[in-house]
Amino acid sequence: MKKIMSFWVCSIASLLLAQGCNAPATGDSKSGAATAQTLPDEESIMAILYQQRAAEYKALCYQAYNIAEMRVREAVENNKHHDSLAVITDLDETALNNSAFEVREYDHDTTYNSADWEKWCKRGEAGPVPGSVAFFKYADSKKVHIFYISNRDTSDVAATMHNMDSLGFPQVARSHFLFKAGSDGSKQGRRDLVAALHYKVVVLLGDNLIDLDSAYDNQSSAIRNNEVDTMEGKWGKNYIVFPNANYGDWENTLYGFKYTYSVAQKDSIRKSYLYGAKY
């Protein structure tokens, strides 16, 4: 709705300017900006645009999948003991691009909520992250098993499989999809299941660090950052990370994983985490 209003505001402003009226004073602009900030979705625009329009985003995704392919090739060539090799990947914003859902939410003056998300998942309209289908097809061609470990709900498996099958992803079979059952968002139990099947995991891929290692489960921003330093040698080797400026635990941790803050409270918390030059 606000997008329609924006059109009329712009049109009226153009008319006023054409009639020789002064542009709004700085104070008016600021009060307008403050009003816009009361909408929950306003801060998502730049992140959505980055994901949809930045060539740099696309390049980063190709880069990540190129590194993943390199790791798979090395593992296959060095697989002297004929181990069963596997790749573990997250789906959303790692293999599947849900930015169209984010825009849909923006158009409706809202942000992520589970009811809207479930409807989106059931529609099966997510797109592929650049490079994803080609990489997983390559892994499949080398007989590397793919485990799609996602925190989508288990009730979404069928629709997600249909979505991915239509996009050309390989190994779209029920046993390859390990979705979240219940409320436990940790993926460690599901990674343990893969290990228990005696697969040798070549790489793990994800846009959220919990996709890769339980050291990041429900941790503070400070601990997450320290762990990334501690694991410096794993990035691009065992763990492949994808850019997602739109959402993730990097944001959730700022609110202490508390999801009941008001829009204004979240705005205030976000700003409290900024640091800047003092001059």
Strand partners, 58: none
Closest to Mg ion by CB, 92 vs 156, is: 92
In angstroms, rounded to a whole number, what is the distance separating the alpha carbons of residues 221 and 251? 9
Of the listed pieces 37-45, 64-72, 128-136, 201-209, which binds Mg ion according to CB under 5 A? Answer: 201-209
Closest approach, Cβ 11 to Mg ion, in A, equals: 39
- Count the alpha carbons within 13 Å of 122 in the hemisphere toward its beta carbon: 7
**Sign of the C-alpha dihedral computed for residues 249, 255, 261 and 267 taken in this order:** negative
In angstroms, rounded to a whole number, what is the distance separating the alpha carbons of residues 128 and 93? 9
Is residue 102 within the footprint of Mg ion (CB under 5 A)?
no
Q: Which of 93, 102, 105, 249 binds Mg ion (CB under 5 A)?
A: 93
213: its two tokens: 């290692």
Residue with tokens 């921003």: 221
Question: In terms of C-beta density within 10 A (0-12 exposed, 13-18 middle, 19 or more buried), how is residue 75 classed?
Answer: buried
Of the listed pieces 91-99, 125-133, 155-163, 193-201, which binds Mg ion according to CB under 5 A? Answer: 91-99
Closest to Mg ion by CB, 69 vs 207, is: 207
Closest approach, Cβ 243 to Mg ion, in A, equals: 11
In angstroms, rounded to a whole number, what is the distance separating the alpha carbons of residues 230 and 234? 9
Of the listed pieces 30-38, 83-91, 114-122, 165-173, which binds Mg ion according to CB under 5 A? Answer: 83-91
176: its two tokens: 């390859």
Closest to Mg ion by CB, 94 vs 171, is: 94
Is residue 90 within the footprint of Mg ion (CB under 5 A)?
yes
Residue list 141-170, contact with Mg ion (CB under 5 A): none
Q: Which of 41, 92, 156, 213 binds Mg ion (CB under 5 A)?
A: 92
Closest approach, Cβ 23 to Mg ion, in A, equals: 43
In angstroms, rounded to a whole number, what is the distance separating the alpha carbons of residues 118 and 112? 10
Closest approach, Cβ 149 to Mg ion, in A, equals: 10
Is residue 249 within the footprint of Mg ion (CB under 5 A)?
no
| Radius of gyration (C-alpha) of the chain in whole angstroms | 22
Q: Which residues lie near Mg ion (CB under 5 A)? A: 90, 92-93, 207
